[in-house]
Amino acid sequence: MGKYLLIESRDPYEYGDPNYFYELARDLADRGNEVAFFLIQNGVFPARGGAKPDKIGELRQAAPRVRILADEFSLRERGISRDATAPGVEVTEIGALVDLLVEDGRKAVWH
Amino acid sequence: MSDKTITLSLMDPPYDSETTTTALRIAEAALDKGISVNVFAYEGAVMLTMKAQQAHPNPVKGTTVEDQQHPTTSGFVGALFEKAAGDVQFQWINCGLCVDERGAADWIDGPKRGGPGDFYKWTQESTNTLVIGTR
């Protein structure tokens, strides 16, 4: 099975198309692939604890094996502190994205 | 230092999208980890490296150029060229046709002129490639 890095930069509360990206993450994981879902820029808004609809909770419930990361810089720019993020979100630096990018065989998709 | 290289493809023009800042952050983080970085600038992104970019004051706030500390994208890219050292390389290619149609040929030191064939070659040689499209 494959390894994927899906980078979501768009806010699903502003645009409809991120929903397809969340579905892609779920479907890839359903088929046994290893998926890292990296939230960045306005893509971090669903990482707030208590955000409704709860896109992160829905993804975790549908695909528990998807690893969900959020860029600390993007969170900080938007006034979202580490302890205000939703359960299951790994707050991390941009270097973690680079580490994933250079893993052997990991396919990267930006949205 | 590592033997890994990432290639980024950018399309957004300067001062238009947060994505440019993110891409440059990714490049800087990779260089810090000893990972070489290639950037292929396509469409409006060829203007990121234009030498004539200037910081400006803010007449609304009455602040000077020095007060504003306004960063330019060419300054950011130039700093990445300076950060690369030894075997850790930073390379930048501007799409030649995109440059010509924009009259955007006067760059800082470092970028080279090229075409999609160069991007394809980089994708074959790199550990990974990230295409960051415009919206």
Residuewise pLDDT in 10s, chain A (111 residues) = 899 999 999 999 999 999 999 999 999 999 999 999 999 999 999 999 999 999 999 999 999 999 999 999 999 999 999 999 999 999 999 999 999 999 999 999 999
Inter-chain contact B2–A101, Cβ cutoff 8 Å?
no
B135 pLDDT exceeds 80?
no
Q: Which of residues 19-38 of B touch A (CB under 8 A)?
A: 19, 22, 25-26, 29-30, 32-33, 35
Please provide the CATH number assigned to the domain covering A3-110.
3.40.1260.10
For residues B82-97, give the mean pLDDT: 95
Q: In the structure, what pLDDT confidence band is assigned to residue B134 with cuts at 50, 70 and 90?
A: confident
Domain that residue B123 falls in: 5-132
For residues B75-97, give the mean pLDDT: 96
What are the structural domain ranges in chain A?
3-110
pTM (two decimals) = 0.95
Inter-chain contact B130–A7, Cβ cutoff 8 Å?
yes
Report the domain count for chain B. 1
The ipTM of this complex is 0.95
- The CA-atom distances, in angstroms, between A105 and each of A1, A2, A101, A102, A110 are 10, 7, 9, 8, 16
Pick A98's closest partner by Cβ from B18, B33, B133.
B33
Q: Which two tokens stand for residue A94?
A: 């941009």
CATH number reported for the structural domain that contains residue B112 in this entry:
3.40.1260.10
Inter-chain contact B19–A41, Cβ cutoff 8 Å?
yes
Q: In the structure, what pLDDT confidence band is assigned to residue B1 with cuts at 50, 70 and 90?
A: low
**CA B104-B109-B111 angle, 5° bins:** 60
Pick B130's closest partner by Cβ from A42, A73, A110.
A110
Asked if B42 contacts B10 with a C-beta cutoff of 8 angstroms, the reply is yes
Inter-chain contact B4–A40, Cβ cutoff 8 Å?
no
In angstroms, the CA A53 to CA B124 distance is 41
| Per-residue confidence (pLDDT) for residue B2, from 0 to 100 | 78
